Every structure is written in structure tokens, then in C-alpha cells.
Structure 1
Amino acid sequence: MLKKIFFIAISSFLLFSCKKDNTEIYTQSAKDAALGERLISDVLKQILYTTPNFIINPTDSLINGIHLSSKPELNDSTFPKIITIDYGDGTTGVLGKIRKGKIIVTINSGTIITEDLAVSFEEYSSGGSEIWGNINYTYNSSNAGYNGELLNNGISIVNPNGTMKWDGTFVLTKTSTSGTVNLTDDKYDFECTTTGIDFQQTSFSYNTSSNHVIDFSCIDYITSGTSILKPNDKDSQTINFGSGNCDANGVIQLSDGSEKNFIF
């Protein structure tokens, strides 16, 4: 009997000692990969929100404090055109996020909703994070979405935490218009194959394992889905973004069953 009790006690000790204390679970890469995902979703939403009316009517060049301009001008038949979306020293969006600087979009025809978008930035920041680099959003007519690429070794994201890098490709597939013609409540499935260096300068890989839902009506964009994240020299992680709530809460899960909540 004593032998049995001793065996159970030892087994329990081994089980719990193999499981990581959740304070040991590394969260920085998960937070930063999610930040990158949110920012590239936000850039696309801003383009689709601000530019369509301006393309149709060049006099409609001011929307909620955001200034739009084109070179060559829109009444000139020459393409490509460079559209500048200028937030100035700070414009607060409808969901309360402050944006500054400029998003610069190059288009090759007289539309924007079904257009390939070549995007760069000029001192542009969203929610306190500045983006440097180039992003291509290639329109996919089969799913009304975009095949995306972070160009030239990826984008850099700068904020008070330092500088992070994110590189790779992604796909956004439109799944819902929420029954409206308003682009700001559309939903997309998101998948990616990416690598990066987080704000603590740890390299990582970040690849979707089940499609993330990107909800344009949610300030934090990501409402569900899972990814496999592997920080350098650390355990592989499953990142679970929940089941549809707009609450910026995720869970990091390790193969030994340990897990930790994080806010992204």
C-alpha cells in the first residue's frame, strides 16, 4: 500500500515538474507577430475606407480629417497613379485609434476596390507603432481578397518597445460583408507564412495553422484562429486567438499542456 502511494506521489511530481510554470512561457514573439498582423490589416482597411470615393470624385479629397491627393491627378489618363493618404500630425479614427503620417499607394487603373496595391509609408504610425517598408496587396478576383507580400526583407515596426522586423507572405480572403456596402465591417480569413525578429531581438517563425478571422469592425482585428510560433531556442507554441470575441486576448499553449494568456 505504501509502495503504491509512493509511486503515485512520484508520478504526480514528475507530471507537474515536466509542465512549465506559465511565468517561464515566452510571450514577446506572440505579441509582436500579432501586432504585425493587426497593422497590415489596418493599412488595407484604411486604403479601402478612404480612397474609393476620391477615385470617383477627386473633389472628395477630405474624409474625417484625412487628406487625399494623386500624382498624376485623377483627371489625367496617365497611369500608374500615386495616391497619398495623409493623416497629418494626428487623426483619430472612428474606433479611437490615432494615425499620423502618410500611406502611399500606387495603382495601375482607375479603380481601387479590385486593384493591386503597392504600398509604402512616410512617417506613418497607427496606435503608436510606426511602419517602415513596402507591402504589396495583389487583388485576387476569385475570393475578393488579397495575396500579400512584405517586400525587401520585410517591414520594420518601431514603437517605445524598440524595433521589430516581420517578413513573409500572407493571404486575405473576404468571407463576409456583414450585409452592408460599408467596407469597414467586412471580414476576412487570414493565413500567413512569416519570420521575424521581435522587440527583444529574438527571431521567430509564425505560420497559421487554422485561418484567423480578421474583422474590420474590431479595433484589434484578430478575433479567432490559431498559429504555430517558434521563437529561437525556445519551445514551439500554439497561439490561440479565441473563438470570435473582439477582446485582444490570446492563449499561448505548449506541447506539455502548459499555457499562458496574453494581450495583443
Structure 2
Amino acid sequence: MKTTSSIFRVFLFLATLSFLGSCDKDSDPTITEPDLSAVEESLEVMQITEDMDYFTLTVLQSIGVNGRILNDPFEKICAGVSVDINDDQKIITIDFGDGCTSPSGIVRKGKITITYNQNFLFPGATVTTNFIGYEVNGLQVSGVRTLVNQAIDLVNNQITLKVSMENGQVTWPDNTFVTYNTDQERVVKLGASGYEISITGTANGQSREGFPYSSTVSSDLIVKQDCVETGVLIPTAGLMELNYRGFQLTIDYGQGSCDKTILITYPGGTKEITVD
């Protein structure tokens, strides 16, 4: 009888442990949402970059082989912008002055200089962009951005560009800043209704809080001119992986809709946000 009682007590003890373990497992807290500040900062940088590409391509497409302006589309960049093309020195100066506002509400100020060795439609063409007191919506931009025409496909009317940003920096009004370097390939398809850009590549840098980050495009990012002109300065499709503070985040830009909604997936959850 004593032996049976002992066995019963052991069984009851093990059953109790099992029950408590089950309850503890069921009550595990949800994994805390990771720091998404780097995502927001990378989106700010991306919007500045796509805005820059928009008016850079607008200017470059307006120049003939001999440096003559074939058309004058600059008012759609912003009213009052000054574009000076010196084909002898192969330098273009885009001067936004003390500030001008685009039709989509983007405020730019300062200057950008574009140095080129030949018409950018020719393979081997190199276009280098420098910034002089340049700001977008109050954010200061510095660094050196280089585009190299690697190939042109006349059948499909597209250009393959090698694009890099060295010593890139975006500074906020409170003097905090993001640094970034990029190594990308951009396939620009030109059409009657505007361009479409397919982007692959990597980026890395430091956040405003001083932490390193890196990102890789895992599914081509798609940027469309008609979306950019309405103020949608982020890709309309594609996936990007972002590594920051021990987390890997996936940023899903959608399936082609011209909107500012993205889906962020992180270990343990997802979050949909709308880009300002």
C-alpha cells in the first residue's frame, strides 16, 4: 500500500509539472517588435534618391548629342529651377536657389552639379553627381553619386546602369544623420509614357542612432516615372532584406500599385505602414 501511494505521488508530481509547463508555454509573450527606425530612415534616403534620379534623367534626356537642349521639361521639376549646360566642360548645374516646390509638393534648395564624359545614352558614359548646399524637404544631402552606362538595348529601349553612392549622408534638422553607400544595377526602360526602373544591389551605412545596417534587394525593386511624378518616391513592387541590430527585416513594396503602403515582416510578426 505504501509503495502504491508513493507511485501515485510521483505520478501526480510529474503530471503537475507537465501542466505547469504547458501553461507556461501557452503564456509565452509575443516577440517584441524590433527597432524599425532604420526602415523609416532607409525610406527617407530612398525617396531622396528616386527624386534625384527623376530630375537627373529628365535633364539628361533633354540634351542632344552636341549638348543642345532638345526640349525644356524643367518646369515639371519645379517652377524657377535654373539648368545650365556647359557642353565644352561637360558640366550641368541644376540650381534650385533658396527653394522651389515641385508640382507634387517636394521642396528642394541648393545646387547639384552633374559631370559627364559623353551623352549618357552611349555605353561607357559616366555621370557623376555632387551636391552643393542641397536639401530636400529640409534634409541636407551630401556624397558623390556615379552612374555608368554598362549597356544599351535598342530593341527593348532600355539602358543598364551601374550606380554607386560614396560617402552618402542625409542630415536632419536636429543634426542627426544617416550615412550610406550603395552598389546597384539599375535597368532603365524608356517609353512614351515615361521610364520604368528595375533595381538590384546592396547598401550599407550607419543609422541616426549610430548603429550599422545593411540591405540587399531580394526581388527587383520597380520604380515608375508616373508614380514619382505624383509624389510616390518609393518602389511600387519588389522585396528588400534589411539587417539591423540583430534582426533581419523584409520590406515588401507590393505588386505594382502606385501607393505608399509597404509591409514589414520581422521575426514573430508583420506591420503595414504608410510612408509619409
Task: Summarize the alignment of residues 71-86 of structure 1 with structure 2, pairs less than 5 Å apart.
Answer: 73-74=86-87, 78=88, 80-86=89-95
Contact 2:83/2:93, CA 8 A, preserved across alignment: yes
How is 1:27-42 mapped onto 2 (pairs within 5 angstroms)? 27-42=36-51
Choose 46-55 or 5-14, whichever is displaced more. 5-14
Number of the residue aligned with 2:178: 164
Aligned to 2:160: 145
Q: Distance in 2 between matches of 1:216 and 1:62?
A: 15
CA–CA distance in 2 between the matches of 1:28 and 1:247? 21
Which amino acid in structure 2 is aligned with residue 221 of structure 1? I
CA distance in 1, matches of 2:199, 2:71: 35
Q: Which has the higher contact order (CA 8 A, sep 6+)?
A: 1
Q: Within 1, Cα distance between the matches of 2:241 and 2:254?
A: 14
Separation of aligned partners in 1, 2:265 and 2:197: 25
Distance in 2, matches of 1:207 and 1:59, equals: 37
Is contact 1:38-1:221 (8 Å) kept? yes
**Could you tell me how far apart the structure 2 residues matched to 1:175 and 1:58 are?**
20
For residues 168 and 179 of structure 2, the distance between their equivalents in structure 1, rounded to whole angstroms, comes to: 6
1:204 is aligned to 2:213:
yes
Q: What is the Cα-based RMSD across aligned positions, in Å?
A: 2.7
| Cα offset, 1:166, TM superposition | 0.6
Specify the structure having the higher radius of gyration (Cα): 2
Would the aligned equivalents of 2:31 and 2:267 in 1 still touch at CA under 8 Å?
no
SS of 2:259 mapped into structure 1: coil
Matched with 2:105 is: 96
TM-score by structure 2 length? 0.77
Q: Secondary structure in 1 aligned to 2:242?
A: strand
Residues 138 and 148 of structure 1 are in contact (CA less than 8 Å); yes or no, is this contact kept in structure 2? yes
Whether the aligned pair in 1 keeps the contact of 2:90 and 2:115 (CA below 8 Å) is yes
Secondary structure of 1:222 counterpart? coil
Give SS of 1:247's match. coil
Aligned residues: 242
1:47 maps to amino acid? T
Question: SS at 1:45's partner residue?
Answer: helix
* 2:126 aligned residue (110, 116, 120): 116
Pairwise CA distance, 1:113? 4.3
Alignment of 1:159-198 (within 5 A): 159-160=172-173, 162-175=176-189, 177=191, 179-180=192-193, 185-198=194-207
Post-superposition CA distance 1:79-137 (Å, at most 9, x none): x511101111112123221111111000112x344442111011112232221010001
Which amino acid in the other structure matches residue 260 of structure 1? K
Contact 2:43–2:234 (CA under 8 A) maintained in structure 1: no
Contact 2:62 2:71 in 1 (8 A): no
Q: CA deviation at 1:170?
A: 1.2
Match 2:31 to one of 20, 41, 47: 20
**What is the deviation of 1:7?**
7.5
* Identity among equivalent pairs (%): 19
What SS does structure 2 have at the residue aligned with 1:133?
strand
1:222/1:35 CA distance change after superposition, 3 Å: same
Uncovered stretches (5+) of structure 2, i.e. residues with no partner: 1-14, 153-157
Please point out which of 233, 249, 263 is paired with 2:261.
Answer: 249
How far apart are residue 6 of structure 1 and its match? Answer: 7.4
**1:68 has 2:69 as partner:** no
